[in-house]
Amino acid sequence: MQEDTIAAISTPLGEGGIGIVRMSGPQALMIAEAIFHPSGRFGVPLSHAASYTLHYGFIVAQGEKIDEVLVSVMRAPHTYTREDVVEINCHGGIVALRAVLDLVLEKGARLAEAGEFTKRAFLNGRISLDQAKAVLEIVRARTKLGLEAAVDQLSGRFFEAIAAIRERIGELLAEVEVEIDFPDVKAETEDALPALIELSGRIAMLLTQGEQGRIVREGLTIAIIGRPNVGKSTLLNTLLVEERAIVTPIPGTTRDTVEEEAAIGGVPVRFIDTAGLREPTDLLEEEGVRRTRAAIERADLLLLILDRSVPLTKEDQRLLESEWEMPAILVLNKCDLPRKIGSIESDLCAGTYEISAKSGKGVDRLTEGILDLLLGGQLPRRGAILLLDTWERDLLRRTKTLLDRTIDAVRTGCSLDMIAEELRAAYTVAGELQGIDVSEDILDRIFSRFCVGK
């Protein structure tokens, strides 16, 4: 209930320079004043403090000082939640923070639920639903590009795009309903056809930007495979620019999968170095091969590495003839040595790159090829990314489907009632994207992903 005053620790638990206990609600100032003693003769009670002011003093319980603090006072409606907000800036130790939080709860606040501060900001009209989710994306950003996209979305770019689309759908619906209610007033529905096609195209563009955003948020998984001793671990170390995997001249050094993440072109990529694929010679190697095949199953892309400095082996040929269920790039390693591998015939059609994993030669071209393949040649860029979740993408698809059905209805001369019904449904679904009439269950699912205190 928004009549409650909520409180939570808003900074990570553990040792740090500062820790913050945040309160929001009608009793925030009163509760803070009950436990805060301003320092010095010029200190003022918090209930009389101006908004956007900082006050130095102590948190006191039963006459004993708990911590030396700075208290921030922010008065409604010009706050994050549009309620009175108080932030108690404590020393960053968990004992002090929890002692202050316990005092706040004892004086009448209740512990905030996950994401409840941001949920209140949405319910009080401070931010739109997509802006609320952008707050979470900022916290969870894994790359600079992801952070930039989240900050852009916080400005309301997606909300404004949907609002404009919904407004135009409403205008078209009004024109159709006028003709239904007043048959003598002729509103040619065919005139709406170009507008409907244009609206469908705008949503298709948003879906494309959302798919790029999904990649930026979730990242890609690439498995590096090949027979033993072809340079898989060396390539992993080169891509990561660190010695993450053990490299030796002994075939079969890697017995388990090694996974690490790196950012390529602003996209988080999880590389999996795998055990060499060959007939296992012992139980340990057999388990390594099993884990390699499991890694292949969850990969978005395979890098099949061959050693170009030696003739093609039966194991190489078997891998070349395998039918993979995901794209695979052929990587010919050790290009700094004389070529002995001969010609290669394979159905692998995702590209071939010659590199030296040891020196790094050709690796830049390989990474560019990886992104071109997985992103359709369009590298993500700021301003062309939308960080949409599954719920938003589904609503966008439903809105587009309803508009496409309206287009078909107009083209085939269906009744005005049918056209109006499709437009009305599209208008309603687009409203859900704006946060209009969204069910409490959906809101709970959205904000439950936030940390407590945000």
Cis peptide before 77 (omega within 30 of 0): yes
CA atoms within 13 A on the CB side of 168: 18
**CB distance 39 to 65 below 8 Å:** no
Residue 155 has pLDDT above 50, yes or no: yes
The residue-averaged pLDDT of 103-108 equals 94
Domains of the chain: 6-127 (3.30.1360.120), 144-213+389-434 (1.20.120.430), 222-374 (3.40.50.300)
pLDDT class of 375 with cuts at 50, 70, 90: low
Which of these, 443, 454, 435, lies nearest to 115 by C-alpha position? 454
The residue-averaged pLDDT of 67-76 equals 94
Residue 314 has pLDDT above 90, yes or no: no
The residue-averaged pLDDT of 431-440 equals 78
**pLDDT tens figures, 15-70:** 778 999 999 999 999 999 999 999 876 678 888 899 999 999 999 998 899 999 99
Which of these, 164, 431, 147, lies nearest to 263 by C-alpha position? 147
Residue 277 has pLDDT above 60, yes or no: no
Token digits of residue 28: 């925030």
The residue-averaged pLDDT of 353-357 equals 88
Residue 304 has pLDDT above 80, yes or no: yes
Beta bridge partners of 86: 23, 73
**Would the pTM count as exceeding 0.75?**
no
Residue 265 has pLDDT above 90, yes or no: no
pLDDT at site 262: 78
Between strands 64-74 and 85-92, the pairing is antiparallel
Three-state secondary structure readout of the chain: CCCCCEEEECCCCCCEEEEEEEEECCCHHHHHHHHEEECCCCCCCHHHCCCCEEEEEEEEECCEEEEEEEEEEECCCCCCCCCCEEEEEEEECHHHHHHHHHHHHHCCCEECCECHHHHHHHHCCCCCHHHHHHHHHHHHCCCHHHHHHHHHHHCCHHHHHHHHHHHHHHHHHHHHHHHHHCCCCCCCHHHHHHHHHHHHHHHHHHHHHHHHHHHHHHCEEEEEECCCCCCHHHHHHHHHCCCCCCCCCCCCCCCCCEEEEEEECCEEEEEEECCCCCCCCCHHHHHHHHHHHHHHHCCCEEEEEEECCCCCCHHHHHHHHCCCCCCEEEEEECCCCCCCCCCCCCCCCCCEEECCCCCCCCHHHHHHHHHHHHCCCCCCCCCCCCCCCHHHHHHHHHHHHHHHHHHHHHHCCCCHHHHHHHHHHHHHHHHHHCCCCCCHHHHHHHHCCCCECC
The residue-averaged pLDDT of 295-324 equals 83
Residue 431 has pLDDT above 70, yes or no: yes
Which of these, 49, 45, 27, lies nearest to 104 by C-alpha position? 27
pLDDT at site 203: 93
pLDDT class of 253 with cuts at 50, 70, 90: very low
Token digits of residue 95: 């004992």
Token digits of residue 170: 């409403």
The residue-averaged pLDDT of 190-219 equals 84
**Mean pLDDT score of the chain, rounded to an integer?**
82
Token digits of residue 392: 């938003």
**pLDDT tens figures, 394-425:** 999 999 999 999 999 888 888 888 988 999 99
| φ, ψ of residue 107 in degrees (nearest 5) | -85, 0
Within its chain, how far is the Cα of 221 from the centroid?
16
pLDDT class of 370 with cuts at 50, 70, 90: confident
pLDDT at site 283: 59
**Residue 412 contacts by C-beta under 8 Å, 6 or more apart in sequence?**
none
Within its chain, how far is the Cα of 175 from the centroid?
39
The residue-averaged pLDDT of 352-380 equals 79
pLDDT class of 289 with cuts at 50, 70, 90: low
Residue 246 has pLDDT above 50, yes or no: no
**pLDDT tens figures, 171-199:** 888 888 877 776 665 555 557 889 999 99
**CB distance 278 to 192 below 8 Å:** no
pLDDT at site 401: 94
**pLDDT tens figures, 109-124:** 999 998 899 889 888 8
**pLDDT above 70 covers what percent of the chain?**
85
CA distances to 148, 260, 292, 312, 368 from 267, in Å = 12, 14, 24, 34, 12
pLDDT at site 251: 45
- Among all chains, which residue has been given the structure tokens 């085939």? 412
- Among all chains, which residue has been given the structure tokens 């966008």? 396
Residue 387 has pLDDT above 70, yes or no: yes
pLDDT at site 244: 45
